[in-house]
């Protein structure tokens, strides 16, 4: 285009929006346009919310959670059981666990799963810190709440091996039929696991 | 949750992200987490791009385009044919037209389509300003590039009627088979339109 019809600010906004997960060039343009149409109700407040988060949120030095406090609110809370640590791959998993409301202990976020394919080894994950935390005298149990994928289970095996050396109790989430799940749409592995763990 | 496990800044970020088109609570959490993981490469720059756009971009008083200039770069450009005005429903359509590179005249953005269902009447659209622009002595043709939907075509009819009174030439985009489109996947209306307009 010989004359500029879309200004650099708009081009930049679209380009940055397209870096969000699940956004292609088309949906990024659509989102940018939606924002531009509501500058005061949406664009400016979203910008401020992002600036706020960028400035105040950091990764907890103890467990790897994201929070404005460091150590995070979960690690600082006196109301949570410090004898149990729930190990997760990702902060998103921690959020999911909190939404379920079943767990009242502490967390530890590994920051990913072991993956030979992606070249992610034990030293790339927050494992050393977990071993040191699990060795503290008040810790009675470590729950491995890792993904039921090949990489997730590889990671669980590796972490369990490491924890065995320090003699702490290690448990894992049960496999089975998801609540609301239909048998016909489940894979063989899940059905087999649910069958062999029947109560 | 009795203890706060996700801080207010993160909650607010997720809530704002979920207002983007196509984002549900789940994808908003995913996007927020993605941003939090890259505070310096993504979260802060995106926030700045948004603040920049919110501060500098406005709607062109002549044609309704979004730009940092007002009148916008297209309206100000001496290199574009001011005898032709292309009428569009939305700024997104203007961007699409510019990407195609076929049009070198001026634009006019209506800001929507007439819709009895949504209660959008002629006074809600940027139509009065179009009629006044189209009446200027240098304007020879108005191209109605409106959506091929019921609302879009209703709007085109209405606008064409208004323009008839001032005696300017009015044209519309052709209907037909989209380039790359397969006949078998087209609706009857498109095939009928393409057949009757065959050359």
pLDDT in tens, B69-84: 999 999 999 999 999 9
**pLDDT score recorded for residue A76:** 94
Contacts of B62 (CB under 8 A, 6+ apart): B71, B72, B75, B129, B133
Report the half-sphere exposure of B145 (CA within 13 A, side-chain side): 23
Q: Does the pLDDT of residue A2 top 50, yes or no?
A: no
Domain ranges of chain B: 82-172
Largest distance between two CA atoms of chain B: 72
d(CA A109, CA A113): 10
Any B CB within 8 A of A19 CB: yes
Residue of B1, B9, B103 to mutate for A, most A C-beta atoms under 10 A = B9
Class of the CATH domain delimited by A66-172: alpha beta
Beta bridge partners of A84: A141
d(CA B141, CA A98): 62
Helix (H, G, I), strand (E, B) or coil at A144: strand
Place of tokens 């999911």: A96
Cβ pair B125, B112 in contact under 8 A: yes
Q: Does the pLDDT of residue B194 top 60, yes or no?
A: yes
CA angle A46, A47, A50 (to 5 degrees): 85
Fold of B82-172: Dna Topoisomerase Vi A Subunit; Chain: A, domain 2 (3.40.1360)
Q: Does the pLDDT of residue A1 top 60, yes or no?
A: no
Any B CB within 8 A of A174 CB: no
d(CA B56, CA B175): 38
A8-56 and A66-172, same CATH topology? no
Q: Does the pLDDT of residue A34 top 50, yes or no?
A: yes
- Pick among 2.60.120.10, 1.10.8.420, 3.90.1150.10, 1.10.1040.10: CATH of A8-56: 1.10.8.420
d(CA A74, CA A76): 5
**pLDDT score recorded for residue B2:** 40
| A141 membership: H or E segment, kind and range | strand A141-144
Any A CB within 8 A of B22 CB: yes
Report the half-sphere exposure of A126 (CA within 13 A, side-chain side): 21
Cβ pair B107, B94 in contact under 8 A: yes
Residues of chain B neighbouring A30 (CB-CB closer than 8 A)? 21-22, 92
Any A CB within 8 A of B100 CB: no
State mean pLDDT over B137-166. Answer: 94
Cβ pair B131, B163 in contact under 8 A: yes
Q: Does the pLDDT of residue B119 top 80, yes or no?
A: yes
Q: For A45-95, what is each residue's pLDDT tens digit?
A: 999 999 999 999 999 999 999 999 999 999 999 999 999 999 999 999 999
Cβ pair A86, A65 in contact under 8 A: no
Share of chain B above pLDDT 90, in %: 80
State mean pLDDT over A149-165. Answer: 95
Q: Does the pLDDT of residue A3 top 60, yes or no?
A: no
Helix (H, G, I), strand (E, B) or coil at A54: helix
Mean pLDDT of chain A: 93
Phi, psi (5° rounding) for residue A77? -65, 130
Mean pLDDT of chain B: 93
pLDDT tier at B1 (50, 70, 90 boundaries)? Answer: very low
State mean pLDDT over A29-56. Answer: 96
| Record: contact B10-A57, CB cut-off 8 A | yes
d(CA A142, CA A134): 7
d(CA A25, CA A110): 32
State mean pLDDT over B154-164. Answer: 95
**pLDDT score recorded for residue B4:** 66
ipTM above 0.85, yes or no: yes
| Record: contact B46-A50, CB cut-off 8 A | yes
Q: For A89-144, what is each residue's pLDDT tens digit?
A: 999 999 999 999 999 999 999 999 999 999 999 999 999 999 999 999 999 999 99
State mean pLDDT over B118-128. Answer: 96
Q: CA torsion sign, A117 to A122 to A125 to A127?
A: positive
């Amino acid at each position: 285009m010989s004359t500029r019809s879309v200004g650099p600010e708009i081009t930049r906004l679209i380009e940055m929006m397209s870096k969000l997960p699940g956004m292609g060039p088309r949906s990024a343009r659509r989102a940018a346009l939606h924002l531009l149409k509501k500058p005061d109700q949406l664009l400016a407040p979203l910008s401020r919310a992002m600036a706020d988060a960028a400035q105040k949120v950091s990764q907890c030095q103890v467990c790897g959670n994201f929070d404005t406090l460091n150590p995070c609110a979960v690690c600082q809370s006196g109301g949570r059981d410090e004898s149990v640590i729930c190990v997760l791959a990702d902060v998103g998993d921690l959020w999911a666990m909190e939404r379920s409301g079943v767990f009242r202990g502490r967390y530890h976020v590994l920051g990913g799963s072991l993956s030979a394919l992606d070249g992610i080894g034990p030293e790339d994950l927050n494992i050393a810190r977990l071993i040191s935390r699990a060795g503290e005298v008040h810790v009675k149990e470590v729950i491995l709440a890792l993904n039921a994928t090949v990489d997730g289970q590889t990671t669980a095996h590796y972490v369990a091996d490491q924890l065995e050396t320090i003699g702490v109790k290690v448990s894992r989430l049960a496999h089975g039929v998801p609540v609301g799940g239909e048998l016909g749409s489940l894979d063989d592995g899940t059905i087999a696991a649910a069958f062999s763990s029947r109560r």
